[in-house]
Amino acid sequence: MKSIINIKSRSRTEFIDITEEVAKAIAGSPVKDGLCSLFVPHTTAGITINEGADPSVKEDILKSLNKLIPFQGDYQHQEGNSAAHIKSTLTGVSLSLIIEEGRPILGTWQSIYFCEYDGPRHRKVIVKIT
């Protein structure tokens, strides 16, 4: 079963919590025990899991990524968004979650984040449940 989560980012770089949308997609599928693959079909975005309880954690991660990989630099790519491509490679574009009793296994403090690195844009995350 495949579904799509549509996302509208509002900033140039931003972490968007999609935990609820993923849980809904899993709950709406007949699979109670299995795997949920999440895939981001973009070259300037990513996906990651990290703390969702304290929103300052995602801001610290984003701030550090932006410091580590500045928007302007000695880049060759003519489009001018090399920083976004590099950040996408660092966080990756896919995740795999274990489904148990119709829900994704996540640690108490974990949330799933779509990572925007070249927004604002319309984006999507492909969800495949097996």
CA dihedral 38, 21, 35, 99 (to 10 degrees): 150
Q: Which residue is nearest to Zn ion (CB)?
A: 79
Instruction: Tell me the three state secondary structure of residue 20.
Output: helix
Q: Which stretch binds Zn ion (CB under 5 A): 54-62, 71-79, 90-98, 119-127?
A: 71-79
**Is omega for the bond preceding 120 within 30 degrees of 0, making it cis?**
yes
81 counts as binding Zn ion under rule CB under 5 A:
yes
φ/ψ of 124, rounded to 5, equals -145, 155
**How near is the Cβ of 40 to Zn ion at its closest, in Å?**
15
| Minimum CB distance to Zn ion smaller for 56 or for 72 | 72
Q: Which stretch binds Zn ion (CB under 5 A): 48-56, 67-75, 78-86, 89-97?
A: 78-86
Residues whose CB falls within 8 Å of the CB of residue 56, separated by 6 or more in sequence, listed in order: none
| Binding test (CB under 5 A) with Zn ion, winner from 79, 96, 109, 130 | 79
Residues in touch with Zn ion (CB under 5 A): 79, 81
